[in-house]
Structure 1
């Protein structure tokens, strides 16, 4: 291809005529006229001191012979058209290559000018990923918040509650006028008898009394607390076992009532405890009479 380009001769240009599409429209008479004009100028007799005059004139004669013959001129025009199309195609491809090279250079220059651009891009990607994870986490939290409790969890919770040993629980009652008993204060009082696992206070602003449930770590600590605090008549707290006394309505004696509590509470004394027993008996009797009437 390169050798053809070097050896290619535009015969129209040799005769001083326009080439390309315009050359194909030139008449034979115009070609002859152009040859005669060029011959008068380029004949060797006109250039006796030019060593290349003879070769140049032969070159002119060859171009005239090609263009003056219809067959050879048609072949040359076809060759000229093919070459022109190839030049245009190569020019277009070269333009595309130049544009790609220019774009690449611009990108390289932009990166060279701002080396932190890639760092910012990666940071943005990480930030977007973190936002997505946070959104997914919030969605799971919302879904979990509105889901009904699993039935298995309910059953296990019920079993756990039912297995709680009420023998380790006691109830403390006090007049609201006697002072403010917070959970921390009650825990401090009952920790003198053993480890306190939990304190739950029940208050009612409409009533004169408040109460709390204290969960001890052992039954022994529960017994010690009841025996000690119920025996102190000056103690404003009325301390009782959580499990209610269940006396029969046919026997209301104090001895039978203490026996129903079991051997651990037989020695529990104190005016407050005895008053509470009478209070419970009264309430049970009233409930019994009410049920009889119904």
Structure 2
């Protein structure tokens, strides 16, 4: 119900009759408008609202809005004014979003500059990729330490939780070519060690599966140790059969044939990790390519 004292141009006559406004209101028939008026007249008549000092003015507004809406010419003009209001509001909202985004970006750059952090997008991308490489290396070291520290046949507990356990000999350094980094969207609880073992057994023997205990609300990860390099390579080449899992090699330069790495990269553009020794070079190469595309564009 419109408030008393509103300017005429600010009144929504559909709302006065308790009808939907906007495009839905413009599609209403005269019969629907008349029915709404009769209903509101019975409810809002001054004789039924003797204690309300605004009852008479409200009823007069109801009658005035009804008179306008049943006149086709006046109604078309009013619908046009409503569309203009909505479009102006949408433009103002969009401008407000852009203004807030610009202010937020400026504040973020100022905070980064004050903290001595790079503000250039390319520098930020380099730092992010380096951090990703460091995280993978750290996870692999934790995995090795857990396996070497665990007694024979026991599961690792120092940095990881759910584990297949005990397939490979403790204290023996595992060939990186057999180790796979697996990640997925969702928490670590989305996949158990037993479930991952069953999924990867289609490519060959699985020696070990270790799932991180740090529960992330957005992403989970695990280390899968295959029985052979060939089995690991087969899992990488056919990773698409494991969707939505992401499978990445954890290996030193030269651990797998060049053709296998190329095949893997050609099929996946969003896989974490690219080998510790050549990851940084890969990052810089991608950044250079992105810069060239930007200059050509």
TM-score range, shorter-chain basis? 0.3 to 0.5
TM-score normalized by structure 1? Answer: 0.37
Question: Higher RCO, 1 or 2 (CA under 8 Å, sep at least 6)?
Answer: 2
Q: Which has the larger radius of gyration?
A: 1
Structure 2 length as normaliser, TM-score?
A: 0.36
